């Protein structure tokens, strides 16, 4: 059957080509991050030279890293989940209200957080994969629902005073070999990361391994690259899409917990706009919304680049909030154009 072979062949060619796309875009992302940081260190100096200020980027964005990992996975399968930011806020609020208002214990609170995320993932995954509804509409409804529920759970900000929670929140893990001398007292201050960063890094490593070397991870790419050929290869497309959304929901729950550990309170504004930051980080990291192309490592560097450029802009004297937004937008624009030019040229060459 020549027809079948052709399709198979096409699928394989496409798959191989998209892998090299992945690597190309990843390389660009990592290079840009190092270029940005080197620029900051050489031309702006100041706080950028201190190791702590680099680690603070991680400290402040542990949650975003985890969210972006989930977002990348869904984007690799060709979907999108714009509910993650709102779910983060809802998880924070639920945990905070449970710990403060109901005097609950920490473990249950964290389980509630994960459960909320998982529930969102399962419902959205079912609607997308099994009922065939557009992921954008489904997660749009999810975002609305999470935003509304957050204010229904509590309108007022809830500050958590639970002791065991504060004990975990204030854990500082010192990084050996890094540190700086205080310019006034001369005392050595070791650089530290918060506990959330370790969890986020673990998530990055685990997801990297899952995407690269497990059957599930490979089927994410296959489904995103070409639905039909994945189906012909014997991959259960629906189940794969469903699992991608469940994973994303779970990571959104975990991201919410990390956000909660970082800020220590429940607030309606928590996680607002993080879905767009996560999408931006994924795009900068070389993930294509059309699916099939992407890399968790790139996403990680995407988060770092995004926040490095925000800090560069603010330390260059453009303090107003709007400059940070405009530069982020310019950065997304730049990366989109690079991606599109690279892909268009590649396609032409192949033809």
CA 309 to the chain's CA centroid: 17
Q: Which residues bind other proteins (CB under 8 A)?
A: 80, 127, 130-134, 136-138, 140-145, 147-149, 151-152, 155, 268, 276, 279-280, 283, 289-290, 320-323, 325-326, 328-330, 332-333, 336-337, 339-341, 343-344
Q: Which is nearer to other proteins, 137 or 202 (CB)?
A: 137
Q: Which is nearer to other proteins, 30 or 143 (CB)?
A: 143
In 3D space, the residue among 314, 306, 324, 301 whose CA is nearest the CA of residue 28 turns out to be 301
CB of 320 to other proteins, least distance (A): 7
Helix (H, G, I), strand (E, B) or coil at 269: coil
Q: Which is nearer to other proteins, 316 or 333 (CB)?
A: 333
Q: Are 274 and 84 in contact (CB under 8 A)?
A: yes
d(CA 275, CA 69): 12
Q: Which is nearer to other proteins, 80 or 94 (CB)?
A: 80
d(CA 180, CA 182): 6
CB of 140 to other proteins, least distance (A): 6
CB of 307 to other proteins, least distance (A): 14
Give buried/exposed letters for 190-224 (b at 16+ CB in 10 A, else e).
ebbbbbbbebbbebbeebbebbeeeeebbbbbbbb
Under DSSP, the state recorded for 50 is S
CB of 189 to other proteins, least distance (A): 36
CB of 331 to other proteins, least distance (A): 9
Provide the greatest CA pair distance for the chain. 79
Cα-Cα end-to-end distance for the chain: 24
Q: Which is nearer to other proteins, 150 or 162 (CB)?
A: 150
Q: Which is nearer to other proteins, 138 or 257 (CB)?
A: 138
Q: Which is nearer to other proteins, 25 or 143 (CB)?
A: 143
Q: Are 98 and 108 in contact (CB under 8 A)?
A: yes
CB of 186 to other proteins, least distance (A): 42
Q: Are 91 and 116 in contact (CB under 8 A)?
A: yes
Q: Are 207 and 195 in contact (CB under 8 A)?
A: no
Residues 6+ apart with CB under 8 A from 230: 11, 219, 222, 223, 237, 240
CB of 219 to other proteins, least distance (A): 22
Q: Which is nearer to other proteins, 66 or 279 (CB)?
A: 279
Residue 239, judged by CB atoms within 10 A of its CB (0-12, 13-18, 19+), counts as middle
CB of 325 to other proteins, least distance (A): 4
Altogether, the residues listed in the chain come to a count of 351
């Amino acid at each position: 059957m020549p027809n079948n072979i052709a399709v198979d062949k096409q699928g394989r060619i496409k798959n191989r080509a998209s892998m090299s796309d992945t690597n190309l875009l990843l390389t660009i992302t990592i290079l840009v991050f190092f270029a940005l940081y080197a620029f900051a260190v050489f031309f702006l100096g100041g706080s950028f030279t201190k190791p702590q200020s680099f680690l603070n980027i991680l400290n402040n964005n542990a949650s975003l890293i985890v969210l972006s990992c989930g977002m990348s996975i869904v984007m690799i399968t060709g979907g999108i989940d714009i509910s993650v930011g709102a779910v983060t806020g809802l998880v924070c609020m639920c945990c905070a209200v449970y710990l403060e208002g109901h005097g609950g214990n920490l473990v249950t609170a964290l389980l509630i957080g994960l459960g909320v995320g998982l529930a969102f993932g399962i419902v959205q995954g079912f609607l997308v994969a099994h009922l065939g509804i557009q992921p954008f509409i489904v997660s749009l409804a999810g975002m609305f629902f999470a935003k509304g529920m957050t204010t229904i759970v509590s309108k007022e900000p809830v500050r958590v005073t639970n002791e065991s929670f504060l004990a975990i929140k204030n854990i500082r893990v010192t990084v050996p070999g890094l540190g700086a001398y205080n310019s006034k007292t001369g005392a050595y201050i070791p650089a530290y990361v918060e506990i959330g960063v370790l969890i986020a890094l673990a998530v990055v490593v685990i997801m990297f391994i899952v995407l690269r070397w497990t059957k599930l991870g490979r089927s994410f790419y296959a489904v995103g690259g070409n639905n039909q050929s994945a189906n012909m290869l014997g991959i259960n497309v629906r189940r794969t899409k469903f699992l991608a959304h469940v994973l994303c929901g779970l990571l959104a729950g975990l991201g919410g917990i990390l956000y909660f550990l970082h800020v220590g309170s429940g607030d309606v504004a928590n996680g607002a706009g993080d879905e767009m930051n996560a999408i931006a980080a994924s795009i900068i990291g070389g993930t294509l919304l059309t699916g099939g192309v992407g890399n968790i490592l790139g996403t990680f560097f995407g988060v770092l680049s995004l926040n490095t450029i925000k800090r560069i802009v603010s330390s260059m004297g453009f303090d107003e909030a709007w400059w940070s937004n405009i530069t982020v937008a310019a950065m997304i624009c730049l990366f989109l154009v690079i991606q599109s030019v690279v892909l268009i040229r590649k396609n032409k060459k192949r033809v």
